């Protein structure tokens, strides 16, 4: 089912591994019959923005990301105006990156998070062992900001969601009958290197086992799920007992055009038909 608005909605956050270029294919799994949209690994929430459901639970264990979403929904004009007034220079970027979020107000933390995200290298969220954001400035590769109309349309859709700073396991425990759950977890692939350094606690084999168990539980509850994952042995293990579809995609995490390549991902679902 297509989104309720014909306007193309761009996520306000850039996010490594985002499925923004695949939302048309992913959106085919959504139906108005579902009672609620649930996303345990929010990131840029691009599929949520594309589908535009009336009821949603958006969660991520990244507390700064979730707080930023909440503040932006509460004060979109102030956040947008404050961000666009900041210079997009290396000196300004590194000044704000050096700030301790705990010393800032809730509003300033949200603006800082959005500003760093829009101006960092390749939209990567990565922290050091102390949990401090450490991605360099993007120099001549910064992407344009959303214009005010695009930003406010995104806010309009986000305002219909409930935001929670939860680990995916906690989110999955709140899944109910009739929910549609979209999962785009970090990749854990032993056979090759993939980017999964989203925090000081990377996604592990144990997390994959937890995810597999939760998929069974939400299926038992009568909820539907769709999961995206790299095409690998780990994905095949995760997909045992479920339907699987292979997709050809274009990787964009490398950051340099000659290093970007065609790869394959799989979609795993319990949706019939």
Domain assignments of the chain as residue spans, ordered by start: 20-62+158-269, 67-150
Cα–Cα dist 245/234, whole Å: 15
Quick check: pTM over 0.85? Answer: yes
Q: CA nearest 251: which of 207, 199, 208, 189? A: 189
Residue 45 CA, distance from chain mean position = 5
Token digits for 195?
């980017």
pLDDT by residue for the chain (273 residues), tens only, comes to: 444 544 678 999 999 888 988 999 999 999 999 999 999 999 999 999 999 999 999 999 999 999 999 999 999 999 999 999 999 999 999 999 999 999 999 999 999 999 999 999 988 898 888 889 999 999 877 788 999 999 999 999 999 999 999 999 999 999 999 999 999 999 876 545 544 455 556 788 899 999 999 999 999 999 999 999 999 999 999 999 999 999 888 765 544 444 456 788 999 999 997
- CATH of the domain spanning 20-62+158-269, picked from 3.30.300.210, 3.20.20.370, 3.40.50.150, 3.50.30.20: 3.40.50.150
pLDDT at 7: 60
Cα–Cα dist 273/268, whole Å: 13
The topology (CATH level 3) of 67-150 is: Adenine-specific Methyltransferase; domain 2 (1.10.1020)
Q: CA nearest 253: which of 99, 76, 101, 126? A: 126
pLDDT at 93: 97
Cα–Cα dist 37/57, whole Å: 6
Element (H, E) at 211: helix 205-220
Distance linking the first and last C-alpha atoms of the chain: 15
HSE value, Cβ hemisphere, 13 Å, CA-based, for 109 = 17
């Amino acid at each position: 089912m297509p989104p309720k608005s014909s306007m193309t909605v761009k996520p306000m956050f850039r996010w490594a591994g985002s499925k923004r270029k695949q939302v048309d294919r992913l959106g085919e799994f959504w139906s108005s019959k579902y009672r609620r949209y649930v996303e345990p690994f929010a990131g840029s929430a691009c599929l949520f923005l594309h589908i535009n459901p009336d009821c949603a639970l958006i969660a991520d264990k990244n507390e700064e990301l979730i707080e930023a979403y909440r503040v932006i929904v509460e004060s979109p004009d102030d956040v947008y105006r404050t961000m666009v007034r900041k210079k997009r220079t290396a000196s300004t970027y590194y000044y704000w990156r050096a700030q301790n979020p705990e010393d800032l107000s809730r509003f300033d933390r949200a603006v800082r998070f959005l500003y760093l995200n829009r101006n960092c290298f390749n939209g990567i969220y990565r922290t050091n062992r102390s949990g401090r954001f450490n991605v360099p400035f993007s120099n001549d590769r910064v992407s344009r900001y959303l214009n005010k109309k695009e930003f406010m349309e995104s806010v309009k859709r986000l305002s219909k969601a409930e935001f929670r700073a939860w680990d995916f396991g906690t989110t999955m425990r709140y899944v109910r009958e009739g929910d549609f759950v979209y999962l785009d977890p970090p990749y854990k692939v032993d056979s090759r290197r993939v980017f999964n350094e989203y925090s000081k606690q990377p996604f592990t084999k144990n997390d994959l086992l937890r995810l597999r168990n939760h998929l069974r539980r939400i299926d038992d509850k009568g909820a539907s799920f769709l999961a995206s994952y790299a095409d690998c042995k780990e994905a095949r293990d995760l997909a045992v007992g479920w339907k699987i579809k292979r997709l050809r995609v274009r990787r964009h995490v490398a950051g340099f055009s000659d290093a970007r390549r065609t790869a394959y991902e799989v979609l795993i679902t319990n949706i019939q038909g």
